[in-house]
Structure 1
Amino acid sequence: MKKIFSFIWNWVIPVGIGVGIYVVITTFFINVVTISGDSMDPNLLDQQRVLVQKTENLKRGDVVVFDARQEDPRIKAGNKDYVKRIIAVAGDTVSYQDGVLYVNGKKVNQSFISTTEQNAGTAASFGSSWDLKSLSSTGLWKVSDRNQTVVPKDSYFVLGDHRSVSNDSRYFGFVSKKHVIGKIHVPFWYSTTVKDNIAKEEDHYFA
């Protein structure tokens, strides 16, 4: 009996506590995901493992992962979650003019991506000048998001850092807050440059 009690005390209870802590952490606080695709290149790379913090305190510049099955009406088979950067939040206006991205009429600091992506990449299929009204009138967006001039309540306008290949809010519309899984953090074992680039827009959003 003493041996059984010792085994339970020294092994079963610690393992049970460890499993319980792991479940609580991954369910309510943080998890690990693997990036799939190049839409956040060069700041997040294909097959790079990152941390996801489950939080509702999101702001412009945060990189988030969300359930794309609920947002993209043309999602490809097998895809599930997208990773993008929040450009605008509820109540914001968004416009693009000749290589300059504006939120509420203020120029966005885009030093975290190349000049090519700021220009041709952001223009993509929509030309050198666009805003929320013109994007939402293309017929590409979800019906509920069309003909909008500002980001709706509890929603976000998101873009990939690799604008020329990214399938983002320009193509499918706004991302609902309830479909956001969490905020991306780059683990300590990646280079300082990568971590700085991910955080750059978060700290200095407007130019």
Structure 2
Amino acid sequence: MKKFLSFLWNWIAPIAFGIAVYAVVTTFWVNVVTINGDSMAPNLLDQQKVLVTKTHNVKRGDVVVFDARKEDPRIQAGNKDYVKRVIGIPGDTVEYRDGDLYVNNKKVNESFISTDEQQSGTEASFGSSWSLGTLSATGMWKKDDQGKTVVPKGTYFVLGDHRSVSNDSRYFGFVSKEHVIGRVVVPFWYSDTVRKNIGSERNHFFATA
């Protein structure tokens, strides 16, 4: 009986340990997410898999995953998580004018997307100039976000890289920090360009003179 119990333990223990490690890792550190849709193209494509790391240190330029069911009142049935890029953090002003995006009156370095998306894609539905104030006055945003002219405490303003098709903060308002699942980290086998555009924008978010 002792031999049997010892054998059973030696067989079960590694499995139990593996399950425990997996649970801890996916709960507290990293998870795998499948991209759904083209809102982050060409950097992230539909059905690609990426890693999502849990973090409380979200910066401008980071690409994050959040629970859109709690943010987008017009979310399509069956959708759950959105993947978008953080443009504004608490206290920021965000505006688009003369073909460029500005945060706190500083021009954003948008080399991670095409000129067409920087301009006509960013203008889609809202014209050649807009700000948080004008967006929030459209009536499309969540009620609590309407009337805001700066990014409120505990929230982010996000945009998709493929802005001409992206359903993002322009349409539904700010994303609560509480609903952010984590920051996207692209695996090593992705191209250098994609890894730079997704993982390094936080380091040179603003354009240099």
TM-score by length of 2: 0.96
Q: Aligned runs of 1:1-207 on 2, under 5 Å?
A: 1-207=1-207
Contact between 1:112 and 1:200, CA under 8 Å: does it hold in 2?
A: no
CA distance in 1, matches of 2:204, 2:28: 29
Contact between 2:39 and 2:165, CA under 8 Å: does it hold in 1?
A: yes
Paired positions, count: 207
Report the aligned-residue RMSD. 1.1
Contact between 2:91 and 2:150, CA under 8 Å: does it hold in 1?
A: yes
Which residue type is aligned with residue 186 of structure 1? V
- CA drift of 1:199 comes to 2.3
- CA drift of 1:57 comes to 1.1
- CA drift of 1:188 comes to 1.4
Query: Which segments of structure 1 move beyond 6 Å, counting only runs of 4 or more?
Result: none
Identity %: 71
CA distance in 2, matches of 1:34, 1:7: 39
Contact between 2:90 and 2:152, CA under 8 Å: does it hold in 1?
A: yes
- Structure 1 residues 65-74 or 196-205, which shifts more? 196-205
For structure 1, list consecutive stretches of 5 or more residues without a partner in the other structure: none
TM-score by length of 1: 0.97
- CA drift of 1:8 comes to 3.2
For structure 2, list consecutive stretches of 5 or more residues without a partner in the other structure: none
Query: Secondary structure of the residue that 2:183 maps to in structure 1?
Result: strand
- Structure 1 residues 30-39 or 192-201, which shifts more? 192-201
Query: Secondary structure of the residue that 1:46 maps to in structure 2?
Result: coil
